[in-house]
Amino acid sequence: MRILVVGAGSTGGYFGGRLAQAGRDVTFLVRPARAEQLRTKGLQIVSPHGDVTITPQFVTAGEIGSPFDAVLLTVKAFALNAALDDMTPAVGPDTMILPVLNGMKHVDTLAARFGDRAVAGCVCRVATIVDHGRIVQLTKLQDLAYGEMDRSVSPRIEQLDAFMQGAGFDARLSTDIAREMWEKWVLLAAMGGINCLMRGTVGEIVAAPGGVDFVLAFFAEIVAVVNAVGHTMNEEFLAGARAVLTAKGSGQTSSMYRDLQQGSPIEADQIIGDLLARGRRAGIATPLVAAAYTNLAIYQARVQ
């Protein structure tokens, strides 16, 4: 199996780098500046699971000669449209696209461009950043799940699973990947919304007057939307999410909040805005989510 990893940043660089380290056939699609870094310094991973520097295979836009068996799409959502144009030559009639973007809007975009069959589900859980070109893993968490959106166990997903196993991270074939994608979105939207709107960590928000009530109300709005338009959340997941979002003393924050603190572009439209739009189409009132999106839209307009 040949896989194209679109992006060699914090997510693509980590999982793609581990696959390449394990001897898998991996090629990275990168921008010219990143290509120069990889050419001169290699792909460097700093991790609790072991540091490594590899000399990866990579291409830039216009250099893809033939379709790949799979495409691991790891760019930020606001870079999706440009990435689609660059990766199109890699997508043939049997290519499987594995997006690890946030939210669910990208699923519709990919299906419209390449067809429903091309798109598989994918969820990753890893805490990594890019520091001077190096991929730095912040915790030991490194989970990648994938599966067919229709819950089938197809020959191609079994082949992918074999490719992913034993590559230095936790790889898992899921027969309910759509549910996992919706659950991740719920947590991302809740954590991102409360962190960004209140400009604080979970622990700081919970400790503030009215903090817990605010968090639970914000979370309830998100769940109401997803239950209506996406996937019904089970109580076990909801209880666990509430515990994470209201943990006393927690220093946890979302990646969107960390991007905001650094003055970087954020995925406001994909994580909060799309959820708000789906809720409005379903006739569900979400005043707290709306306030968070307005707040983030102001910031987003400043950094564009």
Domains (ranges, CATH) in the chain? 2-175 (3.40.50.720), 180-303 (1.10.1040.10)
**Predicted TM-score of the model (pTM):** 0.91
Band of the pLDDT at 304, cuts 50, 70, 90?
A: confident
Q: What are the pLDDT digits (tens) for 220-254? A: 999 999 999 978 999 999 999 999 999 999 999 99
Q: Which residue has the tokens 């959340």?
A: 233
For residues 223 and 183, give the distance between their C-alpha atoms in angstroms, rounded to a whole number. 10
158 contacts 168 by C-beta, under 8 angstroms: no
Mean pLDDT over the full length of the chain = 96
Residue 9 clears pLDDT 90, i.e. is over it? yes
Q: What is the pLDDT of residues 155-169, one digit of tens each?
A: 999 999 999 999 999
pLDDT band with cut points at 50, 70 and 90 for residue 100: very high
CB contact at 8 A, 98 and 72: yes
